[in-house]
Amino acid sequence: MNGLNPNKKIFIIIPAWNEKERIVQVIANLKKHGYDRIVVVDDSSCDNTGKLAKENGAIVLSHIINRGQGAALQTGNTYAVKNGADIIVHFDADGQMRPEDISKMIEPIINGKAEITLGSRFLGQTKNIPFTKRYILLPVSRLINYLFTGLWLSDVHNGFRALSKEACLKINIKQDEFSHATEIIEQIKINNLRYEEVPVTIIYHEYGMNLFGAFRILKELLIGKLIR
């Protein structure tokens, strides 16, 4: 069964690094909503994230050394495409995303309106966004994203996306760490992919990416631009 679409092979890709606290619940929630092709890419966790995911019925791809979230997503993408995926969904391991939003994310792809959808916190009902994140970090991220990609989006870097198989084949994530989110948007523009932003709800348990993280993303993007 694949959620609302039994005819489509939907793969949920979850990059995970030391997520033993939440991974079991995340998998269980996804299954409850009918998604059974759950691929957890264990990015060389020090805890038993991979083992727990496997015991709970996920396909676990294990990185023998830590390569970063972008690298883990690309591993999941490669696996899903090789195994006949029609739609690939990027989902977080920390329980901040809601499985009930997936059907909204994949709908434009199934209807042929879009080849890729991007979750947006600001079109949705996201609660508890920390003050500095909402009014400083996120607007600056949007601007940087626009400067690097040329696409002005309502949200960046929340990590909730759905891709058609064709879009997945065109997008090759080379930024191993967190700047992959900007890289994906850049590749949407380069490959002229039809995209849509979809309102989603993100539940914040903790602050997540901070200012230093944002600087690291900027550094990765600049180095990437300079040498590739």
The answer to whether 79 contacts another protein (rule: CB under 8 A) is: yes
* Residue 85 or 118 with smaller CB distance to another protein: 85
Q: Render 72-132 in DSSP notation, one character per residue.
A: HHHHHHHHHHHTT-SEEEE--SSS-B-GGGHHHHHHHHHTTS-SEEEEESTTTT-B---HH
Buried b (16+ CB within 10 A) or exposed e, 18-46: bbbebbbebbebbbebbbbbbbbbbbebe
Burial of 228 (0-12, 13-18, 19+ CB in 10 A): exposed
Least spacing, CB of residue 63 vs another protein, in Å: 5
Residue with tokens 């083992």: 51
The answer to whether 78 contacts another protein (rule: CB under 8 A) is: yes
d(CA 41, CA 75) in angstroms, rounded, equals 7
Binding mask 14-43 for another protein (x = CB under 8 A): ---------------------------x--
Q: Which of 18, 62, 154, 201 binds another protein (CB under 8 A)?
A: 62
Is 214:140 a contact under the CB 8 Å cutoff? yes
Least spacing, CB of residue 161 vs another protein, in Å: 19
* Residue 67 or 157 with smaller CB distance to another protein: 67
The answer to whether 161 contacts another protein (rule: CB under 8 A) is: no
The answer to whether 86 contacts another protein (rule: CB under 8 A) is: no
Least spacing, CB of residue 117 vs another protein, in Å: 25
The answer to whether 48 contacts another protein (rule: CB under 8 A) is: no
Crossing angle for the helix pair 211-227 and 138-149, to the nearest 10 degrees = 10
Using the rule CB under 8 A, give the single segment among 53-61, 122-130, 137-145, 151-159 that binds another protein. 53-61
Closest Cα to residue 95, out of 198, 25, 16, 18?
25
Site for another protein in 206-225 (CB under 8 A): 223-224
The answer to whether 228 contacts another protein (rule: CB under 8 A) is: yes
Please give the residue ranges that form the binding site for another protein (CB under 8 A): 41, 59-65, 67, 71, 74-75, 78-79, 82, 174, 176, 223-224, 226-228
